[in-house]
Each structure stands twice: as structure tokens, then as C-alpha cells.
Structure 1
Amino acid sequence: MRVLAAMSGGVDSAVAAARAVAAGHEVVGVHLALSADPATLRTGSRGCCSREDAGDARRVADLLGIPFYVWDFAERFRADVIDDFVESYSRGETPNPCLRCNERIKFEALLDRGMALGFDAVATGHYARLSVEETESGESRPVLRRAVDPGKDQSYVLGVLTPRQLAHSMFPLGDSHKSEVRAEAESSGLPVATKPDSHDICFIPSGDTRAFLGARIGVRPGAVVDADSGDELGRHDGVYGFTIGQRKGLGLPGPAPDGRPRYVTSIDADSGTVTVGGAEHLLSRAMTASSPYWLVDETIREAACHVQIRAHGQATPGYVRRVGDGADARLEISLDEPVRGVAAGQAAVLYRPEPGGDRVLGSGTITASVPAATAP
């Protein structure tokens, strides 16, 4: 196959490209220039898409003996990931930019361009497993599963991909542990073998998300109110400075009168109200999600599942119902046990409970949650 290897400049994508070459594919390496300022350098494990990263990716490609190109996707990344991130926070949501990048850049923009140029698949350094099954009608359907290494599993951030996108994807690292990948890179002489992994949000290398958002959204003052009494406890400069479950940085003088810590329990961007309360207010037993993706038989309208709402969170047993079709389609999800900190904007990725609980069933973007105290 003709394979386009997405090379970020890190060890994972380097080994993924090397394995694609070793498997006999015709491989071309491509680095995505996602920063409007390519001179920006990473600081340790913060940031990415820098000139340093592009250089590292090129050195790996030279060592592997494959062609290498840099494609400028900075404008698309700004519009589809950065602007979406800012707008989502301004609505009081908690988005996952890595998930959005996978959905709209690596497996939409990149894949579309690659297929237009005659490539069969895109290979990345994500930790997930991908296989194919035959349906009753004789068609092939991709199967997305968790990686062998539970600590590096990235099936959650890939759960928003469509069957078509998955059918043209390759994840060569899914059957390996991270320690094995680094050892392979070192034994192969790859120059990025000991390079640290990127952490946090790649386009906020400072790590100060509140300052990043504040510079783009501006001051939008509102009230911080108590969940039980409704009393105003303080003021804030914008709901973008808060996320559901947040405990620190609330701008309040201390804990509740009874000594219990306060957490952000809800955010109303329209009124600018941030509500704080005890830990019990963070528990949810049900949620709805829009823009559903379905990776199994389309005739299945409801099923038992395991629900994961964070990239590295635990999956909770529950039940999902698909309601409506097209633009009005949504998921109604109930949980066997309450989950803490469900927030609008997060992705709910669903896994089949048997066998193994590692197969992705589908996903949706959370729009609302039902407090545990009021859930049926």
C-alpha cells in the first residue's frame, strides 16, 4: 500500500513510520505545520509543531530512506481546533482539543489530501488497535479497540473517527508498550529515541490556559453563586476561567462555612453565572450527547456499554440509546453508578462491555448531564 506517515517529530510517530516501512509499504513522511509561528521552540515536554519538531521528523525520514514533506495546515488548525477551543470555552464547555485535532486535521484534512494524491492510508503513532470484520451483508467494517498498553491507550481520542476514516488508517503501535517503542527507537538509531513526550495543550506551550483564553475572549464579568442557597459569593472575569469539578482558583476567600471544599458544579455562559458547591453536586447518573458516531451495526439503536468521559478516565458501565437521525441524532446515556464531573463539551466514548470491554462502540459530544440526585 501507499502509506502517508504523519510524523510529528516525536518517538511514537517515528517508530510507527519505521514499522510501516518494515512491513513493505511505500511510505512517504509528512510533518504538519500547525503553528502560525514555526520559529516557536518547544520547552521540554510542552508545545509541539515547532521548527525543532519538523527537523527531528526530517532526520528520521532521512534515516528511513523515505521522501519527506512539510504540509502547512496552520490556517485549518487555527479555524478548526484553536478557534473551536476558544468558542467552546466561551460557551461554558470543556472541549478536548486533541480529539478535535484528530477528527478535523489528522483524519479529515490530512487523509482527504492524501487520498486525493493516491495514498491508501495514513499511519500515525497513536496507541490503539485496528482490525476489520465482515458484516452479514459481506461488507468490511473497521473495528477500533484499546491499545495493549493501558497507560498509553488513545482509543478515546480516536473514538470520533468515522468508519471511512478508520478504514484508511493505520496504528502500528497498538500492540506495543511504550517502553518497547522507546527501546526499538534506540536500537534502530532513531535520533528521537529519548525525546520527551508532549503534554498539555500543544498550542499553549506556557500551560496557562486561563491567560490564553482571556487574551482572546476578554473580560466578561459574572457572579459566583452557592449551589444550595443561591447566594452570590464573589465575582469573576469570565466563565472561560472555570471547568466543572475545578477546586482551585475560584476567587473565593476559603472553603464553605462547614469547612468542606467548594467545586465548580455548573456554568451558565448566557448569564455569566458560575455555581459552586460540595462534591455531591458533581455526581451524574445520566447524560445526553450530540453528533453521535457509530462504529458498529447501524441497526443497533440501544445497547449496554461502558462510558468514558475523559482521555485517561475510567469507563463506567451503563446503557445507551440512539434517538433521532441526521442533524437531530443524539445519544441518551444512563450510568449504573454516578460519575463525577461530567461537563458539556466533553466526549462520551462508548465501549462494548464484552468480550474484554475494549471495542469502541461509538461516541458523542456531551450536551447536558443529569445530577445523580434527580436521575430516575
Structure 2
Amino acid sequence: MNFGIKRVVIGMSGGVDSAVSALFLKKKGFDVVGVFMQNWDIRDETGHCSSERDREDAARICEKLGVPLNHVNFVKEYWNDVFSNLLKDYQTGYTPNPDIRCNEFIKFRAFYDYARNELAADAVATGHYTSTSFGPYLEGFAPGKNARLLKAKDPVKDQTFFLSRIPQDSLRRAMFPVGGHYKRDVIKIARENGLNDVANKKESMGICFIGSRRFQDFISEYVENKPGNFVDLETSSVVGRHNGIHHWTMGQRCKIGGVPKPYFVCRKDADTNDIWVVPGTRHPALFSRIMITEKFHWINPEWGDLIDSRGILECDFRFQHTKPVVPCAVFRTKEDRFVVALGEPARALTPGQFAVVYSKNECLGSARILTAGPSLYSLNREVPAADGLRERDLDPDEDDDEEEDQDCRHLHAT
């Protein structure tokens, strides 16, 4: 074990990915300690939550593997660093991404600090599908050298998108044991090693603090409903009413009765509380090639140095983790904000979501989208026929994202 890396503290979610990761670490001879993170106080909620079952599953896994399990409460940190910002975003018309924020502030800050300071960890590990330039077990660790975040072997399960704001100091001492495996092989390995309960466990499709409730019912408990109008962009006529802009996101299909064809959200106005809509999912008002973002978080600071010296960075972009990357150019402005220009139009660029950029197999980092640039409609242009959109891309109200870490799910599929 290079550079004295002996004790590894792993986040145990009660799922198959962290279970097999812990198995791999044990077989490598590390001193493995498990931690189950509680990020939400389910006692205050009426919706069903699988957190208790997940904790029980994590305990059974650790007992079987001979790994001690600690329980740590990050409810306060989650509320302050993730959930309160989520509420603020919805109140001001943005659509947040709690998954990315959770990894940034909880799993790779609060958990990392706890593991290092309280449990004397030499490294931390999770069941994320990703890898780093230091290798799955830090075999390539080099003091004083920056680590690079790399895509997983399994392109379907790759989670670099959600790790695009991971702090460099945490990444340098992070292990991702399943990143070099396909999901199907991880499940097979679990079964071969007697971890059948988690191998057969269905991956959760919800978010713990919502439970079995509809998102609209949940968010109304925290954000006041402020009814407003659905306004047709082409005619400026009111075509319906809504209960609040926080219930809707860009590109989402609106459920408006008595209209001849479906409408989709193209703009939200927090001042007037109007939601501007357009008929048809391929309306040019839904497409843009430019966006303004906040300051980028560069996972490897060397990329920030590169754009500072060149003034422009050519790379690849996505803001939805299931969609293919598209070429882009990133420019830095005098106000320390960034302009991202895409090689082809993108549908429903959503303020509050994150522009995540890549260079080949490496995730470079991300920045929060502040606003989209002129739409194709405002530029009097049509949507290109060969824009590559699949049918399910056309209505982002349908999302089948699956991943092991279920504390921090998307609240809107954008």
C-alpha cells in the first residue's frame, strides 16, 4: 500500500455498489471501516422512506464482511448546504440539482472530514461509478500531484456528472472500487460472494425526503404557492393558470386543459409569476446554443489556469447526465462569469442546473447555469432536422435515472 494508505472509510448506502466496493477493499487487505450517513430527519415526514431499511441492509453487509459500521448524522449539514439552497432556488424560479450539491458538500466534504478527522482514515471510498488518475485503490497516488476525475467503464452507470464539483483534496484520497466494472458484473460478484439480499435489491427511484408523495405536494410544504398565468409566447394570450413557478421547469410539458395541442415551458418570470409556454416539444423557443454560468469549479485547478492563459477552452458539454456530450467553447468574462457556446442547439437549457464539461474521458468540472442565451425562435431560426433528439428527450418530465446513492435525487428531470 503506497504512501501509508491503510485505513479506508467507506460510505455504506445499503446498496449493492457500496457492498461490493467494501468487499473489494477487504480483499485488497485494507483496514476497512463503514459509515452510514443519515442526511434527512424522517421523523418529521409522513411519506415512506427507505432509510431505515437501507441502514439495516448496510449493517448486515458490514457484519458479513467483518467491517465495523458507524452511523453519522449529517441532517444539519444537509439542510444548511443543500436543502435550504434548493428552496431558495425554487422560490426564485431556478431548478436546482441536489445530487451534485450533496456530493460536493456532504459526501466529499462533511463525510470526508469526518472520516479523516474522527476515524483516522487514510482514504475514503464510495460505490460511485467513476475512476481517477490515481487508480481505484490509489495505487498511483502521488503527493503534491492533482488527481483527475475519469469516466467509469460502464457508460450507462457513469456518475462523473454528479461528481463534477468534488473538491480536489477529497478526490486525491478517494477510492472508487467499482468504477472499472459494469453494473451487471457488480451484481454477479455480489451473488457469488453471498450478498444476495443487496444483489436482488431494487434500486430506489425516489428521494428520501419526498417519500411516496408527489413532488408538487412536497414542495408546497416549504415554498408558498403563488398562482400565476400560463402565457402563450407567440400570441401573448393567457392559456391557463398554475399554482406557482416552483412546480415547473424548463421544457416541461404543461397540463393545461382545453387546448388543442400540448404546451411546454420556455421561460419563467419570478417577478410577474408568469410562465411562458410554446406549443410543441420541438418549438425553436426551447432551443439555444449559448448560456451564461457562474464561476466554474475546476476539479483539477490546472484547467482553470489553462483557460486563464488562453481565454477560451474547447471541450464537451452536457447538463443532463443521460444525454450525449456536445462540443462547446467556454469563455471567461471580465465579471468572472463564463459563456458556454455549444456546437449545436440544446433543448431547455435550465437556470439552476449545472453545465458539466469534459475533455475526452475526463470530467473537468461544472458551473451553475444562470441564464440561457437567445433562443432559435428569437433569432428567427428553425430547429435543425438532424439534432439527434430521441423521442424521450422531447419530454423531460419523464426520467428514469438510476444510481445507488439515493439521498440526493433530482427533484425535476430536466
TM-score by structure 1 length?
Answer: 0.89
Corresponding residue of 1:200: 206
Corresponding residue of 1:217: 223
Q: Is the 8 A contact 1:330 1:364 kept in 2?
A: no
Corresponding residue of 1:332: 339
Q: Aligned partners of 1:307, 1:91: CA distance in 2, in Å?
A: 25
Q: Aligned partners of 1:108, 1:97: CA distance in 2, in Å?
A: 15
Query: Aligned with 1:127: secondary structure?
Result: coil
Higher mean displacement: 267-276 or 174-183: 267-276
Equivalent residues in 2 for 1:1-376, closer than 5 Å: 1=5, 2-37=7-42, 47-48=49-50, 50-117=51-118, 118-132=120-134, 139-190=144-195, 191-206=197-212, 208-249=214-255, 251-255=256-260, 259=261, 261-278=262-279, 279-296=283-300, 297=302, 298-301=304-307, 302-323=312-333, 329-352=336-359, 357-373=360-376
Q: Aligned partners of 2:63, 2:295: CA distance in 1, in Å?
A: 41
Amino acid at match of 1:303: L
Deviation of residue 42 (structure 1)? Answer: 9.2
Deviation of residue 40 (structure 1)? Answer: 8.0
Amino acid at match of 2:263: R
Give unmatched runs, 5+ long, in structure 1.
none
Give unmatched runs, 5+ long, in structure 2.
136-142, 382-414
Q: Residues 38 and 130 (structure 1 numbering): CA distance in 2 closer, same or farther, change over 3 Å?
A: farther
Query: Aligned with 1:160: secondary structure?
Result: coil
Q: What is the Cα-based RMSD across aligned positions, in Å?
A: 2.2
Q: Aligned partners of 2:324, 2:93: CA distance in 1, in Å?
A: 24
Q: Is the 8 A contact 1:200 1:207 kept in 2?
A: no
| CA offset digits 1:303-346 (Å, max 9, x no partner) | 1111010121221111112335xxx5322100010000110011
Q: Residues 233 and 248 (structure 1 numbering): CA distance in 2 closer, same or farther, change over 3 Å?
A: closer
Query: Aligned with 2:296: secondary structure?
Result: strand
Corresponding residue of 2:410: none
Amino acid at match of 1:67: P
Deviation of residue 207 (structure 1)? Answer: 5.2
Query: Aligned with 1:173: secondary structure?
Result: coil
Q: Residues 73 and 348 (structure 1 numbering): CA distance in 2 closer, same or farther, change over 3 Å?
A: same
Q: Residues 270 and 120 (structure 1 numbering): CA distance in 2 closer, same or farther, change over 3 Å?
A: farther
Aligned-pair identity in percent equals 35
Q: Aligned partners of 1:213, 1:322: CA distance in 2, in Å?
A: 35
Q: Aligned partners of 1:140, 1:65: CA distance in 2, in Å?
A: 34
Q: Residues 228 and 344 (structure 1 numbering): CA distance in 2 closer, same or farther, change over 3 Å?
A: same
Q: Aligned partners of 2:358, 2:190: CA distance in 1, in Å?
A: 32
Q: Aligned partners of 1:39, 1:187: CA distance in 2, in Å?
A: 39
TM-score by structure 2 length?
Answer: 0.81
| CA offset digits 1:218-255 (Å, max 9, x no partner) | 22122211112222222221101111011143x34224
Q: Aligned partners of 2:47, 2:198: CA distance in 1, in Å?
A: 14
Q: Is the 8 A contact 1:42 1:52 kept in 2?
A: no
Deviation of residue 175 (structure 1)? Answer: 0.7
Corresponding residue of 2:390: none
